[in-house]
Structure 1
Amino acid sequence: MKVTKVGAATAAVIALALTATACGGDSDNDSGDGKGKIVVGIKFDQPGIGLKTSDGTFTGFDVDVAKYVAKELGYDADQVEFKQAISAERENLIQAGDVKFVVASYSINDKRKEKVDFAGPYLLAHQDLLVRADDNSITKAEDLNNKKLCSVTGSTSAQNVKEKLAPKADLQTLGGYSECLTGLENKAVDAITTDDSILAGFASQKEHQGKFKLAGLNLSDENYGIGLKKGDTELQTKINAALKKMVSSGDWDKAVQANFGPANYKNEPAPQITEGS
């Protein structure tokens, strides 16, 4: 009798474990069969690109791209979960499987491709300068000599300007672009540098519209791609197909205008897909 009870208890434990495993599989981040959810890495602090608002919703061009791709993979809007992907953690999130893919102003380069694969690109950005709308004294990078240039701590774009183009620039690094923007508005600094898409996103915010302008300098080429686990060619192919459809349907242009239009951002046409082809 005692053996029978032990056997029944063991069977119950095994059955419970199997049930839990099955339930977990339904809710896990998977590849797009209409079940469960999909976790996508985005920026939470870049207006126009990826921003988590005070009411908990998400806005930005990368958010629109991520939602479109997820829809094409078979997920409804309420099945998409966004996870913060700060620049230094993007590869780690992908490699650990914490996200299915990352859409976070993620420039494609050879060093990153050693760790992850990319789909896309879906946007061609350029390093640029943001200046006050009434300032006509900065029309090229060399004009920054003897002026105050602001960027965030650890920024390679600002160092490039100072080392190669304007060695006499007074480079000031702050904790975030919002702080640089405050300095620019208050005339504590003369210009901000980073990707033009990021600058346009900040300048497009309602409280900033009309106060700033892009200098329109193409100081670098930044092809934004969607990062995914290395070797996942099936997902790469599906994402590339989704991006092509977003462009051909006109939804790509709508997203550009909605997120960057107020800054008079002169965007490049949608780039050709090069990754995985």
Structure 2
Amino acid sequence: MRGVALAGATVMALVAACGGAGSYTTVVGKIRNAGQVVVGTKWDQPNLGLKTGDGPPEGFDVDVATYIVDYLARGQHVEITWRESPSSAREALLQNGSVDLIVATYSITASRRPKVTFGGPYIVTPQDTMVRTSDTSIKKVTDLRGKRLCLAEGSNSYRRIVDPPPDGKLNLPMLLVPAANYSDCVRKLADGQLDAISTLNLILAGFAAQEPDRFRLLHDPVSSEEWGVGIKKGDTATCEAVNQAIAAMWHDGTATRLLRKWFGRTGVKLPSSLPTPVGCP
């Protein structure tokens, strides 16, 4: 990981052009010259990004972000400031400069790409559905017809259930129950205020693993989503460097190790190979 050249002359020219604190034109320049970076993650998602005390958040996305920053720093010490980045605020946080990178179950979608430059994806994961273990009426995803589905603010996952193609998948009639985030969805599912949560299986697996007697996954995938590293629109140099870091993370076995560390006991099938980058326009 240490001492690997990044992205060639374009990156180095942009880094060299960066001035004092606050004047960096690229995140990779800020990391290398200021030794600082602000990283957004989720703080309410078990096994992905969960903050429970005074320390930093913990989880798969946090470890991925740490690896990427360390790679971009090329062996130099970097101070990481962690900032909570809920789904509904991710684009705004990047655009107003509150965060430099977002690693927070951030699906790469056509609607987001005009506003965000995405590095990666670092993982491709299927969308699944979680229900109460006691609810035996829902055995497969099509059993959701007429049920109550969680609509987490800022997330598009519900659309693949309720919308028709091309944007959706199943076009099922359902009652949408709004929630602030996926941890709020889980609380409402437990309280009987809704019947199902549908989103990426690693998100659901973390919640289900905390209370395996209370929740279960259907293991009936709807689609697959690509999780990317969110970067301010136009920072191509950092995007290219992040893609090199992600490739290294898979090639040296770190990605596989982290997936097993955080999800090896959840029963979900884990990704096993480096995804194809979406490119850095």
Bin of the TM-score, shorter chain as denominator length? 0.7 to 0.9
Q: 1:31 touches 1:100 (CA, 8 Å); kept in 2? A: no
Q: Structure 2 vs 1, CA of residues 52 and 78 (structure 1 numbering), >3 Å: closer, same or farther?
A: farther
Q: Distance in 2 between matches of 1:150 and 1:156?
A: 11
Matched residue, 1:158? 158
> Following the alignment from structure 2 to structure 1, what is the Cα–Cα distance between the partners of residues 278 and 254?
21
Say whether 1:59 aligns with 2:58: yes
Aligned to 1:49: 48
1:23 Cα offset (Å)? 7.2
Q: Give per-residue Cα distances to partners, 1:189-213, cap 9 Å, x unaligned.
A: 44222221211121223xx134322
Per-residue displacement from partner, 1:35-75 (whole Å, max 9, x unpaired)? 43111111222222222222333112111110000111127
Q: 1:259 to 1:34 in 2, by over 3 A?
A: farther
Q: Which residue of 1 aligns with 2:198?
A: 193
Query: 1:147 & 1:111 partners in 2: Cα distance?
Result: 27
Q: For the structure 1 residues 231 and 243, does the alpha-carbon distance in structure 2 shift closer, same or farther, using more than 3 Å as the test? A: same
Partner of 1:139: 139
1:202 aligns to 2:207 (yes or no): yes
- Residue 231 of structure 1 corresponds to 234
Q: Please, which of 167, 183, 206 is the counterpart of residue 178 of structure 1?
A: 183
**How much does 1:168 deviate?**
5.0
Evaluate the alpha carbon distance shift between residue 46 and residue 37 of structure 1 in structure 2; reply closer, same or farther with a 3 A threshold. same
Q: CA deviation at 1:177?
A: 3.0
Shifted more, 185-194 versus 77-86: the winner is 185-194
Conservation of the 8 A alpha-carbon contact between 1:143 and 1:166: no
Unmatched runs of 5 consecutive residues or more in structure 1 = 1-20
- Give distance in 2, aligned partners of 1:155 and 1:237: 26
> What amino acid maps onto 2:61 in structure 1?
D
Moved more, 194-203 or 29-38: 29-38
CA RMSD of aligned residues (A): 3.1
Larger radius of gyration: 1
User: How far apart in 2 are the matches of 1:23 and 1:198?
Assistant: 36
Taking structure 2 as the reference length, what is the TM-score of the superposition? Answer: 0.76
**Mapped contact 1:145–1:170 kept (Cα < 8 A):** no
Structure 1 residues 186 and 261, CA gap change in structure 2 (3 angstroms): farther
Q: Deviations over 1:141-175 (max 9, x none)?
A: 22123444344356543354245547454443334
Question: SS of the residue aligned with 1:110?
Answer: coil
Conserved? CA contact 1:31–1:73, under 8 Å = no
Q: Give the equivalent residue in structure 1 for 2:91.
A: 91
TM-score, structure 1 as length reference: 0.77
Question: In the TM superposition, what is the alpha-carbon distance from 1:184 to its structure 2 partner?
Answer: 3.7
* Residue 262, structure 1, aligned to residue 265, structure 2: yes
* Equivalent in the alignment of 2:215: 212
- Tell me how far apart the structure 2 counterparts of residues 34 and 133 of structure 1 sit (CA, whole Å): 52
CA distance in 2, matches of 1:234, 1:149: 40
Conserved 8 A contact 1:70-1:76: no
In the TM superposition, residue 137 of structure 1 has moved relative to its aligned partner by 4.1
Aligned CA distance change for structure 1 residues 231 and 266 (closer, same or farther; 3 Å): same
Asked if the contact 1:151/1:173 (under 8 Å) is kept, the reply is yes
After TM superposition, the runs of 4+ consecutive aligned structure 1 residues lying more than 6 A away are 23-26, 75-78
Question: Number of residues paired by the alignment?
Answer: 254
Equivalent AA in structure 2 for residue 123 of structure 1: I
- Identity, in percent, stands at 38
C-alpha displacement of 1:115: 2.1
Query: Which shows bigger deviation, 136-145 or 107-116?
Result: 136-145
Query: 8 Å contact 2:87–2:181 — kept in the other structure?
Result: no
* Unaligned segments of structure 2, at least 5 residues: 1-18, 165-169
Q: Distance in 2 between matches of 1:82 and 1:90?
A: 14
**Cα shift at 1:82:** 0.9
Does the 8 A contact of 2:243 with 2:277 survive in 1?
A: no
AA at the equivalent of 2:251: S
Structure in which a larger fraction of residues adopt helix: 1
Displacement of 1:129: 0.6
Aligned partners of 1:203, 1:80: CA distance in 2, in Å?
A: 30
- Contact 1:48 1:204 survives alignment (8 Å): no
